[in-house]
Every structure is written in structure tokens, then in C-alpha cells.
Amino acid sequence: MNSKDCQEAFESLLRFAENRTSSLFETAYRPMAKEAAEPVKELFTDISLYILGAETTVESAVLRFFDNLFPLVYSRLINPGITDLSEDYTECLRLTRQDINPFGHYSKNMVTELSKSLWASRMLSQALSLGIEVINSTEHAALSKECSRALVKMQYCPHCQGLTLIRPCVGYCLNVMRGCLASVSELDAQWREFISTLEYLTNEMAASHELEIALSGIWSSINEAILHAQLNGPQLSATLGAVGEEDVPKADMSSRTQGLSEP
């Protein structure tokens, strides 16, 4: 697998995981599906950028997603009687989300599950790109004058004696090529170490840090987090009512038990 194939595989997995997550909201949480589309898109964009080597973290991407999700869960599922939250109160909900922890341990678990898999994918993507740069630089390296003379001599000297069908002996060829590739051969130890690193990363991805499993489980982690918030809706409403600036109506518990086993 080359760098392009690897990147296409990453993008395919991300699209599948994003579509599955969007399907969760459209099927199980329709009241907030339209508004949740943007946070979902941002989450997977951040994940993609992380894999490509951007200066971001999995933790910041996941926590930002849940920060943006909480106002929607609170106003559309926990308290569906709320028709419109002010921008100030919406921002208040975002800022207090990590303090009141409405999604329980599910948000942190999602960070843990994704971090190792995405780290291996990020390193593999960067390593493949670096490998291509090294190969291109060595492949197009200019030959020294001494090397050019030796190659011409090896190839054409027998012709001067009319021996056009006789090829240079193997030992002579090897000596000439060793001289021509002397500068490149200095990279041999580092290149072998690089190949070993690639093998380690691919093994990591194929073992406990399997990227496909981690990405395909995002929808489930989000679903469990939302269900947790719904079941603790009365307590959340009471907590926010004590510190908030608006009188938020309480929702009927019957509206808090929506969920989905699998989209």
C-alpha cells in the first residue's frame, strides 16, 4: 500500500463512519438531526486533519463535539418544550458541559478509544509521505563525474575492441555501482529503521488499535452518551436551573428514552 492508497482508505473509513453517525441522528434523534449535522461534520473534519498531521488533538476534537452537542440535547431531548435558546444561554451550556458532565464517562471513553488508533494512522500517513520524499530525492540524485565515467567505461569499453556481445562481469558491475551509490548507501541503516517503524505501525493498526473498529464505533459512543444525558435529565435541569439565567421548563420523562441499537 502506497501513500495514496493509504489516504484513500482513511477517507473511505471516515466517510462511512460519518454517514453512520448522521444516520443515528436522522433515525433516533430527529428533533435535533438538522442542527447536529454541523457538529458531526466538524468532528470528522477534525479527525481527518489530525490523521493528515495537523496541529490538533483527538481529545480537543471530541470534547469540542460534545460541547456543541450538549445545548441541542438539552433543548431538543431533555427539555423539548424550549423553542429557542438565547445565544448567551447556548454558550453557557457549551462552557459548563465539561463541569456538569452530562454525558458521563462516554465522552472520555471515546477519546481513549480513538486516540491510540488515530495516532497510529497519523504516524503511518506521515511516515509514508516522508518515505516518498526520500525515494524521490534518491531516485533523481545527480551522478558524479567519476560515476558517469565508470558507467560509460563499463558499458562501452568492450565495444572499442569489437566485443559488442560481451557483457561486463558481475564483480565489475557491483564495484562500479557501489562507487556510484556510496552516498546513498549511507542511508541504509536509517532506511531499515524506517521500514521497521512502518511494520510496527501497521501491526498496531491491525491489532488492538484497529482504525476501522474505532471509527465504526463512534456512532455507538455518541448514542450511549446521549442516552446517559436523557436518563439524567431531571438532575441536569435542576443543576442548570440553580446556576442558569433562564427558567427552563422541565420535560416529561417519556420524551427522554429515545435511543437506537444500531442505525
pLDDT digits (tens, 9 = 90+) for 124-169: 888 887 777 777 766 666 667 788 888 787 776 665 665 566 666 7
- Mean pLDDT computed over every residue of the chain: 82
Share of the chain above pLDDT 70, in %: 78
Share of the chain above pLDDT 90, in %: 43
pLDDT digits (tens, 9 = 90+) for 172-181: 787 877 777 7
In contact, 121 and 10? CB cutoff 8 Å: yes
Three-state DSSP string of 47-107: HHHHHCCCCCCHHHHHHHHHHHHHHHHHHHHHCCCCCCCCHHHHHHHHHHHHHHCCCCCHH
CA–CA gap between residue 246 and residue 51 (Å, rounded) = 41
Closest C-alpha among 29, 62, 84 to residue 226: 29
Q: Global pTM? A: 0.71
pLDDT at 256 over 50: no
pLDDT at 261 over 50: no
pLDDT digits (tens, 9 = 90+) for 207-224: 655 788 889 999 999 999
Q: Cell 472520555 maps to which residue?
A: 108
27-65 in b/e burial notation, b at 16+ Cβ within 10 A?
A: ebbebbbeebeebbeebbebbbebbeeeeeebeebbbbb
Question: 158 or 197: which carries more pLDDT confidence?
Answer: 197
Q: What is the DSSP letter of 112?
A: H
